[in-house]
Amino acid sequence: MNLYRDIIDLTPNPVKSKAVIDLSGRLSGNKTISINNALGILLRIWNTTEDIINLDLSFLGAGLYILKINDSEQVIVVKFIKE
């Protein structure tokens, strides 16, 4: 398993309400996405097969968050700020 940090494009960052993640083919097949707050508490988890993912993050309060995306072989971790 490989761990990648900040090599995918999450725009905009800081996020107001919506963000787009472009995986650029780095992960394949079914992907699990999770969002944790800065304390590591899991806030949301879901699955997708998309390479370009549109996120509605309007449910989050202002702060620092950790987005983790993984397939069966790799894990990508990105930190983002919610305004």
What architecture does CATH give domain 2-82? Sandwich (2.60)
Domain ranges of the chain: 2-82
Q: Residues of 55-73 as b/e, b for ≥16 C-beta within 10 angstroms?
A: bebeebeeeebbbbbbbee
> pTM here?
0.86
Q: Residue 10 has what pLDDT? A: 83
User: In sequence order, what are the residues at sequence separation of 6 or more whose Cβ sits closer than 8 angstroms to the Cβ of residue 41?
Assistant: none
Per-residue pLDDT of the chain (83 residues; tens, 9 = 90+): 444 444 567 888 899 999 999 888 888 899 999 999 999 999 999 999 999 999 999 999 999 999 999 999 999 899 999 99
Strand pairing of 2-5 and 74-82? parallel
Q: Residue 1 has what pLDDT? A: 46
